[in-house]
Structure 1
């Protein structure tokens, strides 16, 4: 389980690293997906290759709104350039997106097979950190702000806002939960169906029955073992692993569990006997940590920040990382292409939203639909940005627009 030096040194600037929590690769060429729905006023959906450019595009009136994951939903209202129209769990049709899946915790099949106790311990660490997030949201928001921006400002061109304030606003809209329930797995399978329609899936998941898709995507055995250890208050000490173990993540508040587990390592060590102890505790964003269980060093962890979910999945495909926190579409797409990765559990639910310009007449979804129809009739259809084709956000905005009688054109 060794990593190349090149992979260990992957780094990304904040504005680039925040852009790709839930993006899938560009759909292949071939029979094109229809880009215009058959009826209704038209809305243009444009893809910005992540969320980084969105605040600047909104603030300069190049787009009328966007759908993004947190903390980008809270940037416009704090900067005075936009307002939140709706959070993702409340998007239409009513109840459709409540508790929708988002990011997941994954491991390679090789790690699960060869080092099951290690995988169980890492899973337990994420479960305990998620519990801490729920119980200490304000402190956790500050930890994430330190990791992402050194507690400084998020800056996008002329737009600059406090990272701490943004994250404290964002945290209540993200549901940090882990349990891989049947309902949660079924919700992920709905994204499999959507990705097929977008022609992203061309391999094992292209035509597979739902039961076969679940078998390919999920292995919840480590979650069950980890949750049992947490419930009993006793974490089993794994056999120490030789060589570095890679843990991939994205610079997003959705992956706060990892940041909290590392920054609060002493608390977890003293309370539960398990810790991700940073080699440099003073670093705002450590790149190496030791997995400690019951006072024993089990593994050296190389913490790899990626610029996109597909990049992390590629590192998994080459066994350069063994764990990753990533959006569910990249994990689904990677498994479809043959990457030996398994989804172990959820990291978070919901956590996205739609924002519109500050001077927009829209104050809720119904008035947004009316605005869209008015603009379309005038020959100036609304332009709404999404992070990437096939992303969670793209699927949701398309579905909600079309369910409201609005057609979608890519542009």
Structure 2
């Protein structure tokens, strides 16, 4: 590919979510696009301002109700333990419902799980975890029925001969349907149980609040449904040893395995080191498309992304941001934007810039037109 004359350009740099506020604070990037509560960290810490959310990103508000994170399971685990799989789906959905039943307590649980009880000290910030989550939560839609994203432009970077269908056929409807039946009063019928279930997740993200809430609120969930995912001990705000309880009896030990990135968790799932995962929809779909023997059960959340720029940047919404992109590009100083690699946020930015007629290059590499 080649540069297109007179077409504006932006540069993308990949970064981990936690470092993005610091990159903006030290003027190493001009903007970052990432998930909550990193967005709120930048905003409340006085590092930048939020100028666009998921629904503001073109084209046509397509990202407003798109699954950002999903519940995924290894196919062989589903086949061998279908009722256990459905119970884990059910307790996740119960956690989603608990968030809406008592959002204040969900904020407290998530703040303690992700950040602990002490103030957040990072990149010169001093933030209260609960206040941070109060700011973040309204921008996240916790839901089990958001639509899966189309991989679109990220998929173009993968060889056509290793791609397979990644449509809704990857969603195991029988597990989800059975989970809804269990929540509506159907009695569990467990014929086979694993010695343990290993669940991978990213403990630094509040987008997995349904997992945190369903565990910490397990007593109430068991009272309501007769089953729950309960911590072995109530002495930790972030337990890693749990039990799946049915009718007051443990049916499976559950181990929570914290990870660093979604792709790594998916690799562990494909290698049978993990059975179940709570991770981003895009890395999940990419690995399933490349042959990882796993299936998406349902969404965990939609929304929760934000575009953050310096407070002094000459823009306050997406349209004025694009004007800034164009002006900087034509002056020979293209904007540098940080995104997490192979994430839904990267997909959103790539598709939005293509829609706006703006080329993308990776920072530090020659520009090659719209990647």
**Is TM-score (shorter-chain normalized) higher than 0.5?**
yes
In structure 1, the residue matched to 2:235 is 282
In structure 2, the residue matched to 1:145 is 111
Give the distance between the partners of 2:254 and 2:17, measured in 1 at CA: 28
In structure 1, the residue matched to 2:275 is 322
Shift of 1:242: 4.3
In structure 1, the residue matched to 2:367 is none
Counterpart contact for 1:42–1:408, Cα < 8 Å: yes
Shift of 1:341: 0.6
The partner residue of 1:165 within 101, 112, 131 is: 131
Give the distance between the partners of 1:155 and 1:35, measured in 2 at CA: 44
Whether 2:210 is the aligned partner of 1:243: answer no
The partner residue of 1:130 within 80, 83, 96 is: 96
Counterpart contact for 1:237–1:294, Cα < 8 Å: no
In structure 1, the residue matched to 2:353 is 401
Counterpart contact for 1:123–1:223, Cα < 8 Å: yes
Unaligned stretches of 5+ residues in structure 1 = 1-33
Structure 1-normalised TM-score?
0.83
The partner residue of 1:227 within 180, 190, 203 is: 180
How do 1:6-405 and structure 2 match up within 5 A?
Answer: 34=1, 40-48=7-15, 50-179=16-145, 184=147, 187-188=148-149, 190-191=150-151, 193-199=152-158, 203-205=162-164, 208=165, 213-215=167-169, 217-231=170-184, 233-239=185-191, 241-251=193-203, 252-388=205-341, 390-405=342-357
Unaligned stretches of 5+ residues in structure 2 = 364-371
Structure 2-normalised TM-score?
0.92
Could you say if the C-alpha distance between residues 294 and 200 of structure 1 is closer, same or farther in structure 2, counting changes exceeding 3 Å? farther
Could you say if the C-alpha distance between residues 395 and 201 of structure 1 is closer, same or farther in structure 2, counting changes exceeding 3 Å? farther
What do residues 234-259 of structure 1 show as CA deviations (whole Å, max 9, x unaligned)? 44152462422101111211111110
C-alpha RMSD over aligned residues = 1.9
Give the distance between the partners of 2:270 and 2:327, measured in 1 at CA: 48
Count of aligned positions: 362
Give the distance between the partners of 1:221 and 1:274, measured in 2 at CA: 19
Shift of 1:94: 3.0
* SS of the residue 2:334 aligns to: coil
Counterpart contact for 1:66–1:384, Cα < 8 Å: yes
Compare 77-86 and 401-410 and name the one that shifted more.
401-410
* SS of the residue 2:72 aligns to: strand
Give the distance between the partners of 2:103 and 2:159, measured in 1 at CA: 36
Displaced runs of 4 or more, over 6 A = none
Counterpart contact for 1:105–1:346, Cα < 8 Å: yes
